[in-house]
Structure 1
Amino acid sequence: MTMRSRRETVTFKHPFQIKGVDRLLPAGDYEVVTDEEMIEGLSFASFRRVATMIMVPSAAPRSSAMEMVSIGSIDLADAQRIDASAPHD
Protein backbone atom coordinates (compact mmCIF):
# COMPACT_ATOMS: atom_id res chain seq x y z
CA MET A 1 0.00 0.00 0.00
CA THR A 2 1.38 3.39 -0.98
CA MET A 3 1.32 6.00 1.78
CA ARG A 4 2.10 9.69 1.80
CA SER A 5 2.21 12.42 4.43
CA ARG A 6 1.22 16.03 3.84
CA ARG A 7 2.33 18.82 6.16
CA GLU A 8 0.70 22.21 6.44
CA THR A 9 0.74 25.10 8.86
CA VAL A 10 -2.58 26.33 10.20
CA THR A 11 -2.91 29.60 12.10
CA PHE A 12 -5.28 30.26 14.96
CA LYS A 13 -5.82 33.92 15.81
CA HIS A 14 -7.45 33.12 19.18
CA PRO A 15 -6.86 30.52 21.92
CA PHE A 16 -8.74 27.37 20.94
CA GLN A 17 -9.80 23.90 21.98
CA ILE A 18 -9.85 20.79 19.85
CA LYS A 19 -11.12 17.31 20.62
CA GLY A 20 -8.18 15.10 21.58
CA VAL A 21 -6.36 17.83 23.53
CA ASP A 22 -7.55 18.31 27.12
CA ARG A 23 -6.47 21.93 27.50
CA LEU A 24 -6.87 25.35 25.91
CA LEU A 25 -4.19 25.93 23.27
CA PRO A 26 -2.73 29.38 22.65
CA ALA A 27 -3.22 31.31 19.42
CA GLY A 28 -0.44 30.77 16.90
CA ASP A 29 0.84 28.60 14.06
CA TYR A 30 0.45 24.83 14.29
CA GLU A 31 1.89 22.11 12.09
CA VAL A 32 -0.70 19.59 10.91
CA VAL A 33 0.36 16.25 9.40
CA THR A 34 -2.09 14.25 7.32
CA ASP A 35 -1.31 10.64 6.40
CA GLU A 36 -3.03 9.28 3.30
CA GLU A 37 -3.05 5.91 1.57
CA MET A 38 -3.47 5.32 -2.13
CA ILE A 39 -6.76 3.78 -3.23
CA GLU A 40 -5.72 0.75 -5.26
CA GLY A 41 -7.37 -0.40 -8.48
CA LEU A 42 -8.22 2.97 -9.99
CA SER A 43 -6.96 4.19 -13.36
CA PHE A 44 -5.77 7.42 -11.70
CA ALA A 45 -3.96 8.24 -8.46
CA SER A 46 -6.37 8.89 -5.61
CA PHE A 47 -5.70 8.97 -1.88
CA ARG A 48 -7.84 8.68 1.25
CA ARG A 49 -7.02 10.28 4.59
CA VAL A 50 -6.17 7.76 7.29
CA ALA A 51 -4.80 9.99 10.07
CA THR A 52 -4.54 13.65 11.04
CA MET A 53 -2.13 14.86 13.72
CA ILE A 54 -1.34 18.29 15.15
CA MET A 55 1.87 19.38 16.86
CA VAL A 56 1.04 21.17 20.13
CA PRO A 57 3.11 22.46 23.07
CA SER A 58 3.34 19.86 25.82
CA ALA A 59 1.44 20.50 29.02
CA ALA A 60 3.28 22.03 31.98
CA PRO A 61 5.86 21.47 33.33
CA ARG A 62 7.37 20.48 29.94
CA SER A 63 5.80 23.33 27.97
CA SER A 64 8.99 23.88 25.95
CA ALA A 65 8.56 20.41 24.36
CA MET A 66 6.15 19.55 21.55
CA GLU A 67 3.84 16.57 21.23
CA MET A 68 2.01 15.13 18.24
CA VAL A 69 -1.67 14.49 18.97
CA SER A 70 -4.05 12.52 16.77
CA ILE A 71 -7.15 14.54 15.91
CA GLY A 72 -10.14 14.23 13.62
CA SER A 73 -10.09 16.23 10.41
CA ILE A 74 -13.66 17.39 11.09
CA ASP A 75 -12.63 18.52 14.60
CA LEU A 76 -9.79 20.55 13.03
CA ALA A 77 -12.17 22.13 10.51
CA ASP A 78 -14.62 22.96 13.32
CA ALA A 79 -11.86 24.61 15.41
CA GLN A 80 -10.75 26.66 12.38
CA ARG A 81 -14.32 27.73 11.63
CA ILE A 82 -14.90 28.80 15.27
CA ASP A 83 -11.59 30.71 15.25
CA ALA A 84 -12.48 32.51 12.01
CA SER A 85 -15.89 33.54 13.33
CA ALA A 86 -14.65 34.73 16.74
CA PRO A 87 -15.01 38.46 17.40
CA HIS A 88 -11.89 40.41 16.53
CA ASP A 89 -10.14 42.40 19.24
Structure 2
Amino acid sequence: MTIRSRREVVTFKHPFRIRGIDRLLPASAYEVVTDEETIEGLSFAAFRRVASMIKVPAEGSRGLAMEVVSIGPVDLSDAQRTDASTSDD
Protein backbone atom coordinates (compact mmCIF):
# COMPACT_ATOMS: atom_id res chain seq x y z
CA MET A 1 0.00 0.00 0.00
CA THR A 2 1.37 3.40 -0.99
CA ILE A 3 0.70 6.62 0.92
CA ARG A 4 0.96 10.05 -0.69
CA SER A 5 0.55 13.50 0.83
CA ARG A 6 -1.11 16.42 -0.91
CA ARG A 7 -0.48 19.95 0.31
CA GLU A 8 -2.66 22.96 -0.37
CA VAL A 9 -2.97 26.46 1.01
CA VAL A 10 -6.41 27.53 2.19
CA THR A 11 -7.03 31.23 2.86
CA PHE A 12 -9.57 32.53 5.34
CA LYS A 13 -10.53 36.22 5.05
CA HIS A 14 -12.16 36.32 8.49
CA PRO A 15 -11.37 34.83 11.91
CA PHE A 16 -12.91 31.37 12.02
CA ARG A 17 -13.62 28.28 14.06
CA ILE A 18 -13.23 24.70 12.94
CA ARG A 19 -14.43 21.60 14.72
CA GLY A 20 -11.62 19.98 16.68
CA ILE A 21 -9.93 23.29 17.58
CA ASP A 22 -11.32 24.96 20.69
CA ARG A 23 -10.35 28.53 19.87
CA LEU A 24 -10.93 31.25 17.29
CA LEU A 25 -8.25 31.20 14.59
CA PRO A 26 -7.12 34.40 12.89
CA ALA A 27 -7.77 35.20 9.24
CA SER A 28 -4.73 34.00 7.30
CA ALA A 29 -3.44 31.41 4.84
CA TYR A 30 -3.18 27.89 6.28
CA GLU A 31 -1.41 24.83 4.97
CA VAL A 32 -3.61 21.73 4.77
CA VAL A 33 -1.99 18.31 4.33
CA THR A 34 -4.08 15.37 3.16
CA ASP A 35 -2.70 11.82 3.31
CA GLU A 36 -4.13 9.33 0.83
CA GLU A 37 -3.51 5.62 0.31
CA THR A 38 -3.76 3.62 -2.88
CA ILE A 39 -6.80 1.46 -3.46
CA GLU A 40 -5.33 -1.83 -4.59
CA GLY A 41 -6.82 -4.32 -7.00
CA LEU A 42 -8.15 -1.82 -9.53
CA SER A 43 -7.11 -1.57 -13.18
CA PHE A 44 -6.40 2.16 -12.70
CA ALA A 45 -4.69 4.28 -10.03
CA ALA A 46 -7.08 5.42 -7.31
CA PHE A 47 -6.56 6.88 -3.84
CA ARG A 48 -8.68 7.31 -0.71
CA ARG A 49 -8.21 9.97 1.97
CA VAL A 50 -6.96 8.60 5.28
CA ALA A 51 -6.19 11.83 7.16
CA SER A 52 -6.38 15.63 6.82
CA MET A 53 -4.39 18.03 8.98
CA ILE A 54 -4.14 21.81 9.20
CA LYS A 55 -1.15 23.79 10.48
CA VAL A 56 -2.30 26.49 12.89
CA PRO A 57 -0.51 28.89 15.26
CA ALA A 58 0.12 27.17 18.59
CA GLU A 59 -2.06 28.54 21.35
CA GLY A 60 -0.38 31.54 23.01
CA SER A 61 2.55 31.54 20.58
CA ARG A 62 1.84 34.83 18.78
CA GLY A 63 2.34 33.04 15.48
CA LEU A 64 5.91 31.90 16.13
CA ALA A 65 5.19 28.22 16.81
CA MET A 66 2.87 26.01 14.80
CA GLU A 67 0.91 22.90 15.63
CA VAL A 68 -0.64 20.33 13.32
CA VAL A 69 -4.25 19.43 14.10
CA SER A 70 -6.26 16.61 12.55
CA ILE A 71 -9.48 17.82 10.89
CA GLY A 72 -12.32 16.32 8.94
CA PRO A 73 -12.76 17.31 5.29
CA VAL A 74 -16.42 18.22 5.90
CA ASP A 75 -15.42 20.47 8.82
CA LEU A 76 -12.88 22.25 6.59
CA SER A 77 -15.48 22.71 3.84
CA ASP A 78 -17.99 24.06 6.37
CA ALA A 79 -15.44 26.59 7.70
CA GLN A 80 -14.60 27.71 4.14
CA ARG A 81 -18.27 28.08 3.24
CA THR A 82 -18.93 30.14 6.39
CA ASP A 83 -15.91 32.34 5.63
CA ALA A 84 -17.08 32.93 2.05
CA SER A 85 -20.57 33.90 3.19
CA THR A 86 -19.36 36.32 5.92
CA SER A 87 -19.62 39.96 4.88
CA ASP A 88 -16.56 42.21 4.90
CA ASP A 89 -18.38 44.97 6.86
**Which category of TM-score, normalised to the shorter sequence, fits these structures?**
over 0.9
Separation (CA, whole Å) in 2 of partners of 1:52 and 1:35: 6
Deviation at 1:21, TM superposition (A): 0.7
Question: Could you tell me the TM-score, scaled by structure 1's length?
Answer: 0.96
Is residue 2:74 matched to residue 1:66? no
Separation (CA, whole Å) in 1 of partners of 2:88 and 2:23: 22
Separation (CA, whole Å) in 1 of partners of 2:45 and 2:77: 25
Q: Secondary structure at the match of 1:16?
A: coil
Correspondence 1:2-81 to 2 at 5 A: 2-60=2-60, 62-63=61-62, 64-81=64-81
After superposition, the CA RMSD in angstroms is 0.7
Separation (CA, whole Å) in 1 of partners of 2:23 and 2:88: 22
Letter in 2 for 1:17: R
1:29-54 residue CA offsets vs partner (Å, 9 max, x unmatched): 00000000000000000000000000
Deviation at 1:18, TM superposition (A): 0.2
* Identity between Structure 1 and Structure 2 (%): 72
Deviation at 1:88, TM superposition (A): 1.8
Letter in 2 for 1:81: R
Question: Could you tell me the TM-score, scaled by structure 2's length?
Answer: 0.96
Letter in 1 for 2:49: R
Structure 1 partner of 2:87: 87
Instruction: Point out where structure 2 has 5 or more consecutive residues left out of the alignment.
Output: none
Segments ≥4 residues shifted beyond 4 Å:
none
